[in-house]
Structure 1
Amino acid sequence: MAARRAAVAGARLGRVAPGSSILFLCDMQERFRPSVAFFPQVVAVAARLLQACRELGVPAVVTEQHPRALGPTVPELGAHDLPKHPKTCFSMLVPAVEAELRARPGLAAVLLCGIETQACVLSTALDLLERGLDVHVVVDACSSRSQLDRLVALGRLRQSGAFLTTSESLILQLLGDAAHPRFRQVQQLIKEPAPDSGLLALLGGPGVLQG
């Protein structure tokens, strides 16, 4: 029994809490709108998660890939009041974002949404994992132009140690208790199921999201 408790204590459980989490919103920009699969649905899910994070006091970081060429962050994400960190590298961990991380010494978990899964999301996750942070990839808020790239990248992320999860699961973990003072406001955000972002059709049975 003692050995079992020790094993559980040493395991990465992937718990999240508002005071030790941050939301990363990666490159949800206008030029990707026509080419990334399920773009409107993925942005809608990310917007819902951002709203929940605002209610619960979870900070958020937004990046834009080469914005002069790829345009601004789409308005429906609801991130108009957040700084947009421009980048050309695939990882979100540009100096300004690194500074945000350093300013939060109690940070334990990053909730990661965005595009494209096999490029900027993957590179960001690997950099964060290398720094010892838990990474929760929000599978219904990540996509790619190629759905094969999207699916294989999710498997790659899991192999590397990221947690694959959904927006509603994360929101409920952050909330933690129906007695939370913001429960009713957050409950309204998840009253309707998240829009289908194509994952069920992709999986078609056992796949990267299963054990």
Structure 2
Amino acid sequence: MATISKATGIRNPALFICDIQEKFRPAIYEFSKLIPTATKLLTAANTLQMPIYVTTQNRSKLGDTIPELQARLSVPNVKANIDKTLFSMVTPEIESLLPRVSAGEMPLDVIIVGIETHICVTQTTLGLLERGHRVYVVVDGVSSVHAEERGIALARLRDAGAVITSSESVLFEVLGDAGHGAFRAVSGLVKDMKEETKGALEVFSKI
């Protein structure tokens, strides 16, 4: 399978939200700063009509996706919202919904946020890369129980071919042009959440 250059701009974006659940709230490093990043990306994805894929891990024990995100998940562009036991989000159900790169379909540019960086986010990213998709891991949108696990995982994923980036950078890359029809809405969202983004980057960009 041909390798897609990381120098190529985003062409076919999709948002993956990995296991941002209630039971993780007290355990995950800086969980409260993860929420605004996920909210911002989810809001923008809805404005841009970007496909969204959401998972929970063992929902009966670990709880549903947090309420802060739930209100934004009842939209047609949410292609999957499933519970799983696999650590990877690339479950058979979700894989059946993705473009088949091996059959010549355009690969996704997956923007991923969630937890834990070194387990579910890592295995999802590797699975998507293996299938020919590109992955943008949002540094201010992923975390783990132990902060140190983040840097180890992000270094591995960069080596594997993922793009390690920030939420603001990836949103403006999706827009690509100030003439985009959603520019005012998305740029306004970025401006409104400037302080939350700054707070997230202050803790999460130290990798």
Question: What's the TM-score, normalizing by structure 1?
Answer: 0.85
Instruction: Verify the 8 A CA contact 2:10 2:174 in the aligned structure 1.
Output: yes
Q: Does 1:28 align with 2:20?
A: yes
Residue 196 in 1 paired to residue 179 in 2?
no
**Aligned residue number for residue 138 of structure 1:** 138
Letter in 2 for 1:12: K
Shift of 1:24: 0.3
Change in CA separation of 1:102 and 1:177 when aligned onto 2, cut-off 3 Å: closer
Aligned residue for 1:61? 53
Asked if the contact 1:63/1:92 (under 8 Å) is kept, the reply is yes
The residue that corresponds to 1:12 in the other structure is 6
Distance 2:117 2:154 in 1: 7
Report the counterpart of residue 3 of structure 1 in structure 2.
Answer: none
Moved beyond 4 Å, runs of 4+: 198-202
Contact 2:140/2:205 (<8 A) preserved: no
- The percentage of aligned residue pairs carrying the same residue is 39
Aligned partner of 1:43 in structure 2 is 35
Q: Alpha-carbon deviation of 1:76? A: 0.7
Equivalent position amino acid for 2:67 in 1: P
Equivalent-residue separation in structure 1 for 2:8 and 2:13 (angstroms): 11
Unpaired runs of 5+ residues, structure 2, are none
Amino acid at match of 2:38: A
Contact 2:139 2:205 survives alignment (8 Å): no
Structure 2 length normalisation: TM-score? 0.86
> Structure 1 regions of 5+ residues with no counterpart?
1-9
| Deviation by residue 1:14-39 (Cα, 9 ceiling, x = unmatched) | 4213xx11110000000000000111
The CA deviation at 1:91 is 0.3
Q: Is the 8 A contact 1:27 1:115 kept in 2?
A: yes
The correspondence of residues 61-80 of structure 1 with structure 2, limited to 5 A, is 61-77=53-69, 78-80=71-73
Q: For 2:157 and 2:54, how far apart are their aligned partners in 1?
A: 21
1:164 corresponds in structure 2 to 164
Structure 2 distance, partners of 1:156, 1:184, is 36
1:26 to 1:140, Cα distance in 2 relative to 1, 3 A = same
Q: Do residues 122 (structure 1) and 125 (structure 2) align?
A: no
Distance 2:106 2:189 in 1: 27
Q: Which residue of 2 aligns with 1:106?
A: 106
**Contact persistence 2:13–2:50 (CA under 8 A):** yes
**Aligned mates of 1:115, 1:189 — CA distance in 2:** 24
Cα distance in 2 for residues equivalent to 1:128 and 1:103: 11
1:164-186 Cα deviation digits (max 9, x unpaired): 00000010011111111111111
**Whole-Å Cα distance in 1 between the matches of residues 28 and 198 of structure 2?**
16
Maintained 8 Å contact 2:43/2:72: no
CA contact (8 A) 2:129 2:162 kept: yes
